[in-house]
């Protein structure tokens, strides 16, 4: 099976000149798969972290402490109003050089956070800032009277949040959340700029050695279209599962 695919792409190259090295050269294939793995690691960890940041931020924003509300607002403004690539550079080249090094087990000096960790941190904060606003819009869409009904039944503020406000808010904000998570998945390519070996980085290495820019570009586009397609499919299934019969129509 694998040999047949490899042979087919080899013949394609010999007959037409289209050189998809990744599909017949095991070395290029391994680099591509490693890049894909790194992209998945970046995407999954930043999606999860940004959701947590968004949920906590939105809760704090509707909470009683003015100081905390101000801090969250400041965070949202800073990370929403600046370009994500600049944020990554700021963290990696700006903050990264200020932090002290640590000694590894074999006595070498190493930075506290490596480039992958900086990328995850900065992309999570970037997408998290948007998620704060998205979750807040959902929470604000829950009618005050519905919360009042919960209070009249003896619910505390926290219990009303957990059982009434959040389940309703989530449904309201899912479409906006989908958009942001899709953007986040695509924005992981920016980690390229601090040499994180994700898919774009790996594919770039392949095309500069094999001189097949067009072919690798196609592979790259199809790869991201597929990854986003999978994410969209998952999110739509989630939306469908949460749909309430007769609600909001």
Residues that bind other proteins (CB under 8 A): 143, 145-146, 148-156, 159, 163-164, 167-168, 171, 244-249
State which residue, 149 or 230, has the beta carbon closest to other proteins. Answer: 149
Q: Return the number of the residue (31 or 171) whose C-beta is nearest other proteins.
A: 171
CA dist 35 and 31 (Å) reads: 6
- Phi, psi at 17, each rounded to 5°: 90, -5
Closest separation between CB of residue 175 and other proteins, Å?
17
Close Cβ partners of 31 (under 8 Å, ≥ 6 residues apart): 202, 205, 206
Closest CA to 238 of 47, 59, 101, 103: 47
Contact yes or no for 125/87 (Cβ under 8 A): yes
* The token pair that represents 124 in the structure block: 């999570």
By C-beta, is 136 or 171 nearer to other proteins?
A: 171
Q: How far is the CB of 63 from other proteins (least distance, A)?
A: 19
- Cβ 152 to other proteins, closest distance in Å? 4
Q: In the numeric block, which tokens belong to residue 180? A: 């942001």
Q: Which is nearer to other proteins, 2 or 149 (CB)?
A: 149
Q: Which is nearer to other proteins, 151 or 209 (CB)?
A: 151
- Closest approach, Cβ 181 to other proteins, in A, equals 22
Least Cβ distance, residue 144 to other proteins (angstroms): 10
* Interior angle at CA 79, CA 75 and CA 84, nearest 5: 160
Count CB-CB contacts under 10 A for residue 71: 14
């Amino acid at each position: 099976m694998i040999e047949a695919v490899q042979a087919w792409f080899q013949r394609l190259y010999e007959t037409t000149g289209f050189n998809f090295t990744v599909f017949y050269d095991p070395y290029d294939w391994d680099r591509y798969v490693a890049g894909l793995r790194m992209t998945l690691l970046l995407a999954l960890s930043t999606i999860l972290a940004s959701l947590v940041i968004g949920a906590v931020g939105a809760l704090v924003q509707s909470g009683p402490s003015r100081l905390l509300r101000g801090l969250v607002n400041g965070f949202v403004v800073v990370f929403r109003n600046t370009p994500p690539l600049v944020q990554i550079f700021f963290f990696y080249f700006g903050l990264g050089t200020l932090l002290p090094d640590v000694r590894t087990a074999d006595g070498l000096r190493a930075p506290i956070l490596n480039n992958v960790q900086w990328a995850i941190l900065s992309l999570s904060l970037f997408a998290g800032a948007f998620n704060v606003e998205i979750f807040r819009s959902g929470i604000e869409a829950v009618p005050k009277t519905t919360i009042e009904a919960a209070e009249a039944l003896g619910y505390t503020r926290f219990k009303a949040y957990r059982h009434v406000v959040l389940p309703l808010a989530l449904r309201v904000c899912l479409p906006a959340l989908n958009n942001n998570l899709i953007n986040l998945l695509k924005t992981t390519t920016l980690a390229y700029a601090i040499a994180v070996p994700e898919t774009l980085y790996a594919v770039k290495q392949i095309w500069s050695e094999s001189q097949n820019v067009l072919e690798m570009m196609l592979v790259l586009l199809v790869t991201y279209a597929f990854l986003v397609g999978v994410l969209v499919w998952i999110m739509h299934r989630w939306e469908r599962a949460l749909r309430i019969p007769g609600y909001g129509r």
